[in-house]
A and B are shown apart, each in its own frame.
Chain A
């Protein structure tokens, strides 16, 4: 069966440091992978999409890598700020284009 695994333990990080999150998957051959941010009491918000033929994508302080051989994506938040504290979700599309989400990793950035 298809699985998406994210680290269930919260990531506590000091302001200014780089936060790195991992998303591993099995039994997928995704054309692309997406990352979302979710704040308490709110719906997920789309951040970045990376395609299978792209190794790296950047958006402001965010960087995503995608290794289809390792079946892994890394999500980096550089120069982290307390406002970056949230849960970050990895998502993969199946052959129908439907997104399935990982359980998410909570990031806590302390001043």
Chain B
């Protein structure tokens, strides 16, 4: 398996623009997580899907953020409109059943909003 695949690896956008981050989880994993990492706040969980259904989005900063998982092999995280404070590395992770088996993380998308 190629692991969790995220795209793009880097994204630079202007404030106010829409940004879409993409994730392909490991085949067979039924849980998917979006995290954001910054120096100040570390790794923060944004949203968690189980069997393609959003279970907990309490970590989503505000209404500008939305996430979808239309099928078991694809998820998106959208920011509209983007702001400079959204600059961070966004990670997608997937796991089987519960986190007891450990999460597999993608390589992340480094987002810079100027």
**Do A and B bind?**
yes
A98 and B100: CB pair below 8 A? no
Q: How many A-B residue pairs have CB under 8 A?
A: 54
8 Å CB contacts to B: which residues of A37-75? Answer: 41-46, 49
Q: Known: A43-B107, A46-B104. Contact between A96 and B91, CB under 8 A?
A: no
| Residue A28 at the chain B interface, CB threshold 8 Å | no
Number of interface residues of B (CB under 8 A): 22
Binds A, one of B14-22, B40-48, B70-78, B80-88: B40-48
Using CB atoms, name the residue of chain A closest to B91. A43
Using CB atoms, name the residue of chain B closest to A96. B56
Number of interface residues of A (CB under 8 A): 23
B14 to chain A, nearest CB (A): 24
- Can you give 11 A-B contacts (C-beta < 8 A)? A41-B107, A43-B4, A44-B91, A46-B102, A98-B33, A98-B45, A99-B33, A99-B45, A101-B43, A102-B42, A103-B42
Interface string of B31-57 (1 = CB under 8 A from A): 101000000001101001000000110
Contact of A97 among B4, B91, B93, B98 (CB under 8 A): B98
Majority SS at the chain B contact face: strand
Contact of A101 among B42, B55, B101 (CB under 8 A): B42
Contact of B55 among A36, A49, A96 (CB under 8 A): A96
| Residue A100 at the chain B interface, CB threshold 8 Å | yes
B103 and A42: CB pair below 8 A? no
Interface string of B99-114 (1 = CB under 8 A from A): 1111111111000000
8 Å CB contacts to B: which residues of A79-102? Answer: 89, 91, 93, 96-102
| Residue A106 at the chain B interface, CB threshold 8 Å | no
